[in-house]
A and B are shown apart, each in its own frame.
Chain A
Amino acid sequence: MGKQHYQITVNGEARDVLAEPRELLIHTLREQLSITGPHIGCETSHCGACTVDIDGRSVKSCTVFIAQAAGREITTVEGLGTPDAMHPLQEAFREHHGLQCGYCTPGMITRAYRLLQENPSPTEEEVRFGIAGNLCRCTGYQNIVKAILAAAAEMNAAKEAAE
C-alpha cells in the first residue's frame, strides 16, 4: 500500500498527512509536522521518551503506526503549555530541577499529565509506579517525583480556589 491521506488531531489542530501505513507516529510527528517534543530514545518500546497522549491514554509513539492513529486526538508536550503559559507540571519540573539534559522530559511530563488526570492526589509510591515506563539517565528520579507531587498539589489548590 502506497502513501495514504490520514487525518489526525494534534494539540487541538486537525492535520492531514500523506504517509505509508507503516510510518511510525513518532516519525509523522517529528519529521512531517515538526513537532519535536516527543523524542526517540530507544525506538524499541522501552524508554518512554516518545510518549504522547492518544485519546486519554499515554502511548509510546514509536510503537504505533500512523494508520492506527488515524482519526485520533493526540496531545504532545507542546499542547500542554507554552514558554509564556507553562502547565503546572512544566513549571514544577523547572522549579524542582526535575530535569538535567532534558531528553526524557517531554515524555515524563506527558505521562505525568495523564497520571494526574486519573489520580489527582497520588502518593509518592503511586507516582513512581505511574512513571515506571519512562527512563531517565540523569536525575535519579528523585526530583522528577518531587516535581510531579508539587504539580499535583498546585493543580488541586487551583481547582479548589476556582470552586
Chain B
Amino acid sequence: MIPARFDYHRPGDIAAALAILGEHGDEARVIAGGHSLIPMMKLRMTDLAHLVDLQDIAELRDIAVEGGTVRLGAMVTQHDLIASAELAQAAPLVREAALQIADPQVRYCGTVGGNVANGDPGNDMPGLMQCLGATFHLVGPGGERTVAARDYYEAAYMTAREDDEILTAITFAVPSGGYAYEKQKRKIGDYATAACAALVTMEGGRCTQASIAMTNLSDVPVWSEAAVQALVGTGCEADAIGAAVEAARADIDPTEDNRGPVDFKRHVAGVMIRRAIERAVSRA
C-alpha cells in the first residue's frame, strides 16, 4: 500500500500555505491529521502532486471560549476536544461526539478541521456542527469568508470550499439546554450506520428551542427543520417525540452499502434519533 509520489511542503503560517496552494492550484491539497487522506492516497483513490502540511501553523491549534462563543482552530484534534475541560463545560455535546469517533490512536491525529472539510458523509463532526449551528471560517487569496455549517455540504466530497481556500476555524454560540450524540456502529473504528445529534431547551415544561442533525443517512449531513418544529412548543411527551422522529426520518435518504439495506438503516436511524432526543430532554 504505497501511495503515489508527491512533493511535500510544511509552511509555518497561513499566508505561506495559501501561496503554495495558489501556485499549484488543484494539484495541491492540504493535509491535517492525514487519517482520512492517507488511507485514500494508499488506495490511490486520491491523486495529487503537492501535499501542504498544516502541522506547524500554531495559530490553527487554539480552543477558545469567550463571550458566549466557542472557537475551535482547524488543527485541534479530537483528542484535544476530549481533553479540554473548558470545552466540556461550555459544549459537552462536542466531547460526547468526539468520544464516539474512531479509536484512541486516530483521535490523537484526526482534526476537527479535517473532519468537517473532508465531505465524507460518514464523518461525525459535520452533523454535529449543523446541530450546533456552527460557522466555518475559510481563508483564501481574497481574505476570509464564512459559511454556515448548514449550507456547506453540497454532495459527498463536494463542499462550498474552493480549492485555494483553507478552513481555519469553526465558531458556534455556547449551546444551552440538554444534549446527546447517539451513534450506532458495527465496531470501534467503524463509521456510523446511523447517528444523531440533539439539543433541546425546556422552559417551564415547554420546549423553547431544539436542533436535530443526522450523520451518514444521506450523501450530506441532514439538519431537520421539521423535527425541530415537531418539538418546539410541546412538553416533549412521547407523542411529540414520536412525531419528531418521524419528521427527521422523512428528511433522510440512506443508500444500501456494507452496513445494511435501506430499510435497516431507516430503522436504525429511528432508534438513534429517538434515543438522542429522549436523552437530550432528560438532561434539559
Contact = CB atoms under 8 A, between A and B. Distances in A.
A111 B104 CA distance: 9
Contact of A22 (B3, B55, B105, B106): B3
Nearest to B31: A68
Interface string A136-152: 00000000000000000
Interface in A16-56: 20-22, 24, 43-46, 48, 51
A25 to B, nearest CB: 11
Contact of B108 (A24, A44, A57, A129): A57
A102 B105 CA distance: 20
B34 A64 contact: yes
A67 B8 contact: yes
Nearest to A115: B104
B2 A132 contact: no
A58 B41 CA distance: 22
Contact of A21 (B7, B104, B189): B7
Nearest to A131: B104
B31 to A, nearest CB: 7
B6 interface: yes
A22 B8 CA distance: 9
A111 B2 contact: no
B5 interface: yes
Of residues B6, B39, B42, B103, which shows the largest number of chain A Cβ atoms within 10 Å of its Cβ? Answer: B103
Contacts of A115: 104
A21 B105 contact: no
B38 interface: yes
Given A21-B51, A44-B39, A57 B5 contact: no
B106 A133 contact: yes
Interface residues of B, number: 29
A59 B53 CA distance: 17
Contact of A51 (B10, B35, B105): B105
B104 A130 contact: yes
Interface in A72-123: 111, 115
A157 interface: no
Of residues B38, B53, B105, which shows the largest number of chain A Cβ atoms within 10 Å of its Cβ? Answer: B105
B238 interface: no
B103 A68 contact: no
A126 to B, nearest CB: 11
B109 interface: yes
B188 interface: yes
A132 B109 contact: no
9 contacts: A22-B5, A43-B1, A44-B39, A44-B42, A45-B39, A46-B189, A63-B34, A64-B34, A64-B38
Interface of A: 1, 4, 20-22, 24, 43-46, 48, 51, 57-60, 62-65, 67-68, 111, 115, 129-133
Given A1-B5, A133-B102, 20 more contacts: A1-B8, A4-B8, A20-B5, A21-B7, A22-B4, A22-B5, A43-B42, A45-B39, A48-B105, A59-B109, A62-B1, A63-B34, A64-B34, A64-B109, A65-B38, A67-B10, A132-B188, A133-B103, A133-B104, A133-B189
